[in-house]
Amino acid sequence: MKRDLRIVFMGTPDFAVATLKALLDHGQTIVGVITAPDRPAGRGQKLHESAVKQFAVSHGLKILQPTNLKSESFLDEL
């Protein structure tokens, strides 16, 4: 019997998008995406979203951006 996986994807860099896309393309169930919090970047220090977050938003995936992976609030939400 095939058991469906429920995957929580963790990644931030641009190259992680290809892996997330491949999982979705193969019909995997992504229940959440954990990526680094938005950070100020550039001359205007505007908040910059990671490529993984942008991809996840465009595909309607739940996003978590903890500042500390060991925090109790993050672990409860996970």
> What integer pLDDT is reported at residue 71 of this predicted model?
85
Supply 6's token pair: 């429920």
Between 51 and 71, residue with greater pLDDT: 51
Best CA proximity match to 16, nearest among 58, 50, 57: 50
In this prediction, residues 34-60 reach a mean pLDDT of 92
Place of tokens 């954990």: 34
Enumerate the domain spans of the chain: 6-77
CATH of the structural domain 6-77, one choice from 3.40.50.170, 3.90.1200.10, 3.40.50.2020, 3.40.1160.10: 3.40.50.170
Cα 50 versus chain centre, distance: 9
Is residue 1's pLDDT more than 60? no
> What integer pLDDT is reported at residue 40 of this predicted model?
86
Query: pLDDT digits over 18-38, tens only?
Result: 999 999 999 999 999 999 998
Q: Which residues pair with 47 in a beta bridge?
A: 40
Specify the pTM. Answer: 0.85
